[in-house]
Structure 1
């Protein structure tokens, strides 16, 4: 056995119903005195509630999907004007993403308080969209210094959104097994993440407000993101970033619909990863395991339901191939192959 593994430096606080206290402790550790809180407009009330005990200089509630460049520029200007010394993001991937966009140019530290299973809070990956193009990159400045996990904050998340977000976490696990920096440590995190998600996500349907299922799912999402943060972005995420930028598709639902088709595309070319996934899904093979989970969760299956046009298949495939040129993907990547994959994902074809 021979590998090189990098663990990103970050502190994790995981405690249900303790978000406000955990956040106050983190702000004290950092010695911050002027906090800029970043959330969506809909998440503003929650943000105000759990930041009541910290020195808030500004509540900035403009986080939106895919982080448009104009939105990022306004947030950066606001951070300068209010003389923020720390950013606190509260919400899903949009809030975390906007905080990262600010940190990228200002160097301000981030404390993330996630309310979904997106996982962005554990990675050093940033993304912004201009027009129909989404640009992503990696930078240590955007990695949150600390993450406050509180499963009770996810209890108000609608079930459909919870399921899509949780399947996004499953996608992090799957991609981590053949991403550019895949290694045995990432594989261990990813497979344990799938086990937690496989058990936790169905509990959300049977008992939507029960904390046990929420905690298990949130823990699985953290393991998934930790694996993904180290392993890097594989073909699945390259596809989803292209689709999100080109067609403004919803992030989590896109991941849920695309994942089975990427797994089917790669599985035969990555037998060791396939065996690991099958064991994690507790299934005869990885594809049937993921399919069974999708069916149990009534997961999103067709990209056309979210606005992807048929005319966009080939242009998207070309963009994916261009984005994936440096990937050592298990299966050969070509415009024809990705067009076929996208066509099946758009139609929600059975595997």
Structure 2
């Protein structure tokens, strides 16, 4: 057995009430003037972070938005300069953490990530930025947070439906890690554990959003899935979602939720060993199981429900195929168009 496994050097603090250790983590990094980054909807949690940091909280920027538009990053960069900050704390989901990464890319400032969703991007050296209607993804060690503080309590306010789509977004990272070109046994173990934890936890959160056990299991699964995303390459699913999100301004986790079963169905015939692994976690039809899980968590199952026009399907197909990239199954225009069409309609997945 031959493989290469490279672990990313993030420090992870996981548990309940761990936000209270945020000041200690900032002190350990030698940070005195921190910029707190969040979305407008998460200013309450940003203020909670500020209260934990005390005098170390130098400034707040609560204007992060999805897909990390370059123009928003440029506005935040002005705040970085004016406030003379020496580090960044991003609190929230992928939008806030993405902005924190974009600032780190430009400044090489240390980051502390405080995730409040199950997106998993906090565990990756990957940054996706949007400019002029196109999303560009790059990998750079500068954007990997130095510390990630997972606090189960901060996820209790995440609405059940958003918890479901955020969790399915995380599952997508692990699914593609299983058939990544540079996959390895360690990442596959984490991927299967993460998928199992999330598929068990998400229905429980739907039944009782205050179930701390289910919330903890979901956050644990999200951490594992995010670690997979940061450790190996991705394939057609992530390419499609970045294309759809960046080109048509579709919501991130909802797009991942819709596309995942279809992308998996497309690839499974080319990776029978992965199909066997997923059957052990998801049952005899893994793609259909993820489609049904989306229904269980109340997610939209058609891209048309997110506002994408049917006339954009051909454009999406062309953009998805524009730049060659690795995928376990050859990328062909007609089957990819059929995949996107089924995802647009909200139909069950199938392999062409």
Q: TM-score range by the shorter chain?
A: over 0.9
Judge conservation of contact 1:186–1:228 (CA < 8 Å) in 2.
Answer: no
C-alpha RMSD of matched pairs (Å)? 1.2
- Residue 276 of structure 1 is matched in structure 2 by 277
CA deviations on 1:49-105 (whole Å, 9 max, x unpaired) are: 222132111111111111111101111121122111110000110000001110001
Deviation at 1:22, TM superposition (A): 2.0
Q: Secondary structure at the match of 2:118?
A: coil
Deviation at 1:17, TM superposition (A): 2.3
CA deviations on 1:197-232 (whole Å, 9 max, x unpaired) are: 111111101111111111000000110011111012
TM-score of the superposed pair, with normalisation by structure 2: 0.96
Deviation at 1:300, TM superposition (A): 2.4
TM-score of the superposed pair, with normalisation by structure 1: 0.96
- Residue 50 of structure 1 is matched in structure 2 by 49
Residue 245 (structure 1) aligned with residue 243 (structure 2): no
CA deviations on 1:301-325 (whole Å, 9 max, x unpaired) are: 10000011111111111111123x1
* Distance (whole Å) between structure 2 residues aligned to residue 307 and residue 229 of structure 1: 30
* Distance (whole Å) between structure 2 residues aligned to residue 212 and residue 232 of structure 1: 31
- Residue 5 of structure 2 is matched in structure 1 by 5
Q: Secondary structure at the match of 2:52?
A: coil
* Distance (whole Å) between structure 2 residues aligned to residue 53 and residue 245 of structure 1: 35
Q: Which moved more, 1:140-149 or 1:126-135?
A: 126-135
Deviation at 1:261, TM superposition (A): 0.4
Residue 344 (structure 1) aligned with residue 342 (structure 2): yes
Deviation at 1:180, TM superposition (A): 3.4
Deviation at 1:253, TM superposition (A): 0.3
Judge conservation of contact 1:275–1:286 (CA < 8 Å) in 2.
Answer: no
Deviation at 1:166, TM superposition (A): 0.5
Residue 330 (structure 1) aligned with residue 328 (structure 2): yes
* Distance (whole Å) between structure 2 residues aligned to residue 310 and residue 104 of structure 1: 36
Q: Which moved more, 1:246-255 or 1:181-190?
A: 181-190
- Residue 27 of structure 2 is matched in structure 1 by 28
- Residue 137 of structure 2 is matched in structure 1 by 136
CA deviations on 1:118-154 (whole Å, 9 max, x unpaired) are: 1110000001111210111000000000100011111
Residue 146 (structure 1) aligned with residue 128 (structure 2): no
Judge conservation of contact 1:258–1:345 (CA < 8 Å) in 2.
Answer: yes
* Distance (whole Å) between structure 1 residues aligned to residue 62 and residue 85 of structure 2: 15
Aligned length: 347
Q: Which runs of 5+ in 2 are unaligned?
A: none
Residue 168 (structure 1) aligned with residue 169 (structure 2): yes
Deviation at 1:243, TM superposition (A): 0.3
Deviation at 1:191, TM superposition (A): 0.4
* Distance (whole Å) between structure 1 residues aligned to residue 99 and residue 293 of structure 2: 32
Deviation at 1:299, TM superposition (A): 3.0
- Residue 109 of structure 2 is matched in structure 1 by 108
Q: Secondary structure at the match of 1:53?
A: helix
- Residue 305 of structure 2 is matched in structure 1 by 305
